Amino acid sequence: MDFDFDAVIDRRRTNCTKWDMMERYFGASSENDLAMWVADMDFLPPPAVNATLQKMIDHGIHGYFGDDTAYRSASVNWMDQRHDWRVEPDAISTVNGLVHGIGLCLDAYTAPDDEIIIFTPVYHAFSARIQACGRKVVEAPLVLRDGMFHLDLETLESRLSGRERMLIFCSPHNPGGRVWSVAEFASIAHFCERHDLILLSDEVHHDLVFEGFSHTPMVNAAPKQIDRIVMLSAASKTFNLAGGETGQVIIPNADLRHKFEASNKAFGSTPNRFGPMMSTAAYAHGAPWLDALLRYLDGNRAAVEDGLNEIPGVSVMPMGATYLSWIEFSGTGMNQDEIRERVQNRAGVVCNYGPTFGTGGETCLRLNFATPRSRVAEAVTRIQDAFSDLQ
Ligand SMILES: Cc1ncc(COP(=O)(O)O)c(C=O)c1O
């Protein structure tokens, strides 16, 4: 079956974040500038998703969501078939998006002023949520080797205060799309066991892995006795359903699950109708769409890498997953203001600013290439032109 990822669909004036909030957040023009920032895609989801929504609209009544058996079962089948991961249906708690799920985990497992470890540069909502919950961020900077991110647990270990309670891991990594190895998973799991930390493994990008790379769920990679893992997953990134605000917190350990559920209950969170219904349809029928999407995204990845690596002093991190490329400008000698001036103001390409992701992002931008190839090509040309004096 063919899916038309080349179709350019105008998303402006649809109340979307990516295009309609560019002006407010970045001072950019949604008429002329290209939105290549927040992590959603400019593609239609698998056809079964909109068919499901159409059925809901045809029926027309949008009361409370109830029976989630089909949703759990579609999720369990997906994890089994795509990830060789056996999930107990009862181990799944549904949350209103994973940022919400992270907040609930912080509430369930940590107390004010506790310290939470994150590997920077990393998805900015981790530190935002930790701080908003009155906990402290402990940055463990990733180190660069061969242009790729690597963990440095030795340095982290030497700096521990003893007040750390949780570690949030991003796998595959956002930004930059690093697919971690089984050995790296095991080292993280052992680290958490040694220091009595809850291990939150955010694997929302787990389906967006390119050919030649393979993602392993943390629970499969960690030694069985390390039973302190909370898995975060969702259909949202995979199938472009982020507006459904639906995520899964999957907790194999019953005690940890009950603690989490107590927080979930305390805040009265219940899923909306649309997210679980869309996710069910996508998990049940979306595999061919996803396979086609991955081939398309891989082509976009190559276009970004080939095009931007031509600019002297600019390098795109080689990536195995996600559509969120990490572009390092340090070789140009420019600081973040100069980089923004060129990429955003001259080229008119709106990316996420590197420093938002924490230490290590000072001279970087994150560029979202999940958009039709013609737009990726235009963005690459515009950025090349904005640095043409360096050629
Ligand atoms: C690693 C990671 N976790 C969570 C999220 C957001 O999840 P949600 O939209 O379900 O809150 C993102 C979005 O980009 C992400 O990259």
Q: Would you list the domain boundaries of the chain? A: 17-46+287-390, 64-274
- The pLDDT assigned to 391 comes to 72
Cα(229) to ligand 1 centroid in Å equals 18
From residue 220, alpha-carbon distances to 75, 238, 258, 367 in Å are 17, 20, 22, 31
Fold of 64-274: Aspartate Aminotransferase; domain 2 (3.40.640)
Ligand 1 in reach of 37 Cβ (< 6 A): no
Cβ(202) – ligand 1 distance below 6 Å: yes
Res 266 pLDDT > 80: yes
Q: Burial of 356 by CB count in 10 Å (0-12 exposed, 13-18 middle, 19+ buried)?
A: middle
CATH class of 17-46+287-390: alpha beta
pLDDT of residue 204: 98
With a 6 Å cutoff on the Cβ, whether 241 touches ligand 1 is no
247 lines ligand 1 (CB under 6 A): yes
**Which residues does 35 contact at the CB level (< 8 Å), separation at least 6?**
18, 19, 22, 350
Alpha-carbon distance of 44 to 8, in angstroms, equals 10
16, 118, 200, 237: which to mutate for ligand 1, most atoms within 8 A of CB? 237
Q: What percent of the chain has pLDDT over 90?
A: 97
Q: Is the CB of 95 under 6 A from ligand 1?
A: no
Structure tokens given for 360: 């290590």
Report how far apart the first and last C-alpha atoms of the chain are (Å, whole number).
43
Query: What are the tokens at 188?
Result: 């993280």
Gap from CA of 204 to ligand 1 centroid (Å)? 7
Is the distance from the beta carbon of residue 176 to the nearest atom of ligand 1 less than 6 Å?
no
Q: Does 269 have pLDDT greater than 90? A: no
Judge if the beta carbon of residue 30 lies within 6 A of ligand 1: no
Instruction: Give the global pTM.
Output: 0.97
**Helix 125-132 vs helix 98-109: crossing angle, to nearest 10:** 40
59 alpha carbon – ligand 1 mean position (Å): 31
CA distance to 64, 76, 90, 278, per residue, from 73 (Å)? 20, 5, 10, 14
pLDDT at 1: 60
